[in-house]
Amino acid sequence: MPSVASKQYSDDVSLLVLLLDTNPLFWSNTSITFSQFLSHVLAFLNAVLGLNQLNQVVVIATGYSSCDYIYDSSLTSNHGNFESRGTGMPPLFASLLKKLEDFVTKDEELSREEGHEDRTPSCLLSGSLSMALCYIQRVFRSGHLHPQPRILCLQGSPDGPEQYVAVMNSIFSAQRLMVPIDSCYIGVQNSAFLQQASYITGGVHHTPKQLDGLFQYLTTIFATDLHSRGFVQLPKPIGVDFRASCFCHKKTIDMGYICSVCLSIFCEHHKKCSTCGSVFGQSKLDEASSVSDKKRKAPHT
């Protein structure tokens, strides 16, 4: 006889893991302020939790030098003893904001310790993706009845090409686990990582044009659970930017050299692969020209 819990379990129970971009370098010069952005996001989270009693939400903050879990709706300690400060926040999110503040402080300290500031002003996407996937893997192992997980990446910072390898690894793990990665990019340039992530894992990628309508975008596109996506039309991007970054200089390249053993990408010809150490032979173009010269010479003699 099925238990009450399983009876309540319908197809559209979802676990949403939200990767929130808290890169200060990005937020210091945007059209939308961080507080406005947060209010859109928090309302969206509330809406997702309201769609189904069994829905779960996990928020991971993607900082400049670190990432951390900020909020988990399945924990009961959320409604702890928080004095309601003023009229503002519903107690549900008070803990989230508190944790977020602590996280930002910690992140600042870490970035101060780091020293070299020669990175691109990107957020640590690879770290938060890995944390999300670990959480999801734990959920998978918790038993038969679990919500369908998906990852939503809310990002505005540009891609950091030095994270290319780690991000691609996370994307392929997500593909393996059949976890779609949705991405909402609110930055200026295009993010190739997010496009590829959504394309490969079967998620939705969208770049909202109007940032003050962010809540509308979020609820229209990203609130749909996996089951409903079978019969709901979501906006699809026309093309995907599949460019990779080379392993030697971290530049984004269109054409390059690939090691046939480990598939590492290089922008210029190397004698040896730096990842796996295999030695490359002479390139075929040089060989072919020498052979054809030899052939031409033969009838002369």
Partner 1 sequence: MAGEQVEKRVKYKSSVKDPGTPGFLRIKEGMLLFVPNDPKSDSKLKVQTQNITQKFTKEGSNKPPWLNLTIKQLLGRSHIFEFENYPDMHACRDFITALGKSDEEPKKAAVLTSTEQLSIKELEIRFKLLRENSELQRLHKQFVESKVLTEDEFWATRKKLLGKDSIRKSKQQLGLKSMMVSGIKPSTDGRTNRVTFNLTPEIIFQIFAEKPAVRQAFINYVPSKMTEKDFWTKYFRAEYLYSTKNTAVAAAEAAEDEELAVFLKPDEILARETRQKIRRVDPTLDMEADEGDDYSHLMDHGIQRDGTMDVVEPQNDQFKRSLLQDLNRHAAVVLEGRSIDVDSEDTRIVAEALTRVKQVSKGDGETTKDANQERLERMSRVAGMEDLQAPQNFPLAPLSIKDPRDYFESQQGNVVNVPGVAKGLKRNVHEAYGLLKESIVEIRATGLSDPLIKPEVSFEVFSSLTRTISTAKNIIGKNPRECFLDRLPKSTKDEVLHHWTSIQELPRHFWSSYPITTPYLHTKVGKLKDAMSNTYSKLDAMKESVQSDLRHQVSLLVRPMQQALDAAFQHYEADLQRRTAKSSGGERPNGYV
Contact present, 137 and 93 (Cβ < 8 Å):
no
- The answer to the question of residue 296 lying near partner 1 (CB under 8 A) is yes
- The answer to the question of residue 60 lying near partner 1 (CB under 8 A) is no
Helix-helix angle 91-114:34-51, to 10 degrees: 130
The sign of the CA dihedral 132, 137, 139, 144 is: positive
Choose which of 7, 141, 144, 209 interacts with partner 1 (CB under 8 A): 209
Contact present, 168 and 194 (Cβ < 8 Å):
no
The sign of the CA dihedral 207, 240, 262, 161 is: negative
- The answer to the question of residue 150 lying near partner 1 (CB under 8 A) is no
- The answer to the question of residue 279 lying near partner 1 (CB under 8 A) is no
The backbone torsions φ and ψ at residue 88, rounded to the nearest 5 degrees and listed phi first, read: -55, -90
Contact present, 156 and 185 (Cβ < 8 Å):
yes
Encoded one letter per residue, x for contact with partner 1 by CB under 8 A and - for no contact, window 96-115 reads -xx-xx--xx-xx--xx---
The residue (of 9 and 108) whose beta carbon lies closer to partner 1 is 108
Residues contacting residue 201 through CB under 8 Å, at least 6 positions apart: 171, 174, 175, 179, 180, 181
- The answer to the question of residue 284 lying near partner 1 (CB under 8 A) is no
Q: Least separation, in Å, of the C-beta of 83 and partner 1? A: 11
The residue (of 50 and 213) whose beta carbon lies closer to partner 1 is 213
Q: CA–CA separation, 82 vs 105, rounded Å?
A: 20
Positions 37 through 56 that interact with partner 1 (CB under 8 A): 38-40, 42-43
Choose which of 27, 69, 257, 280 interacts with partner 1 (CB under 8 A): 27
Q: Which of these ranges, 7-15, 177-185, 259-267, 290-298, lies near partner 1 under the rule CB under 8 A? A: 290-298
Say how many CA atoms lie within 13 Å of 74 toward its Cβ: 14
| Pick from 178, 150, 156, 153: nearest CA to 167 | 153
- The answer to the question of residue 233 lying near partner 1 (CB under 8 A) is yes
Encoded one letter per residue, x for contact with partner 1 by CB under 8 A and - for no contact, window 156-185 reads -----xx--x--------------------
- Residue-by-residue DSSP string for 152-204: EEEE-SPP-GGGHHHHHHHHHHHHHHT--EEEEE-SSS--HHHHHHHHHHT--
Pairing of strands 257-258, 265-266: antiparallel
The residue (of 108 and 137) whose beta carbon lies closer to partner 1 is 108
Q: Which of these ranges, 11-19, 137-145, 243-251, 279-287, lies near partner 1 under the rule CB under 8 A? A: 243-251
Residues contributing to the site for partner 1 (CB under 8 A): 22, 24-25, 27-28, 33-36, 38-40, 42-43, 64, 85-90, 94, 97-98, 100-101, 104-105, 107-108, 111-112, 116-119, 161-162, 165, 208-210, 212-217, 220-221, 233-236, 238, 247-250, 274-275, 292, 295-296, 299-300
